Amino acid sequence: MVPMTLKFLRHQYHALHTAESHRMCQQCFIKHKTLRQKRRQKIFTQPSIYLYLLCLALGWQAVFQYGHRIYSSYEEVQIWDPHHLLGVSSYSSIAHIKHQYKRKSLQHHPDKRRKDGISKEEAEAEYMEITKAYKVYISTGFR
């Protein structure tokens, strides 16, 4: 779209502003002035220029719509991180990880959930995620 727009603007500029000689006689200057006025009138009476402008406008509109769609549909990619789920750093000891797992599993256990508005299904999902993170961490030595 940018090259087409620049080409169009450059062509129109050169069509309206031809190279003028600084040393023109009075008659040549008047002739040149009337020629330039006729060119301006002729440019905007041609249907092809309106078609070209319409194509440029539609093209730029498509560019902005796709850009807006890409910008607004940005979804944050969530990486599954067992450290974050267990609440430990990547340099934590095994004992600390076990302690955090026990604490988190009691906190999010579906049968021992608190009255903070969490449904049993949500508590089960959180408990399963914590258990999965612990098992992956212990079985693979995820460090």
Classify residue 132: in a domain, yes or no: yes
Classify residue 114: in a domain, yes or no: yes
% of the chain residues with pLDDT over 70: 83
Is residue 17 domain-shared with residue 66, that is, in the same domain? yes
Is residue 89 domain-shared with residue 128, that is, in the same domain? yes
Show which of 42, 72, 102 is a domain's final residue. 72
* Per-residue pLDDT, 106: 86
Is residue 86 domain-shared with residue 34, that is, in the same domain? no
Distance CA 119, CA 77 (A): 26
- Packing angle of the helix pair 94-108, 120-140 (nearest 10 deg): 170
Considering 37-41, 106-110, 137-141, the range whose residues carry the highest mean pLDDT is 106-110
Is residue 66 domain-shared with residue 92, that is, in the same domain? no
Is residue 57 domain-shared with residue 13, that is, in the same domain? yes
Is residue 136 domain-shared with residue 108, that is, in the same domain? yes
* pTM for this prediction: 0.44
* Per-residue pLDDT, 63: 94
* Per-residue pLDDT, 3: 83
The residue segments making up the domain with residue 63 are 2-72
* Model pLDDT for residues 49-69, shown as the tens digit of each residue: 788 888 899 999 999 999 988
* Model pLDDT for residues 65-92, shown as the tens digit of each residue: 999 888 877 666 567 788 888 888 888 8
Is residue 17 domain-shared with residue 54, that is, in the same domain? yes
Classify residue 77: in a domain, yes or no: no
User: Structural domain tally of the chain?
Assistant: 2
Is residue 136 domain-shared with residue 101, that is, in the same domain? yes
Structure confidence at residue 141 as a pLDDT band (50, 70, 90): low
Distances (CA, A) of 16 to 53, 61, 68, 102, 105: 17, 27, 36, 80, 78
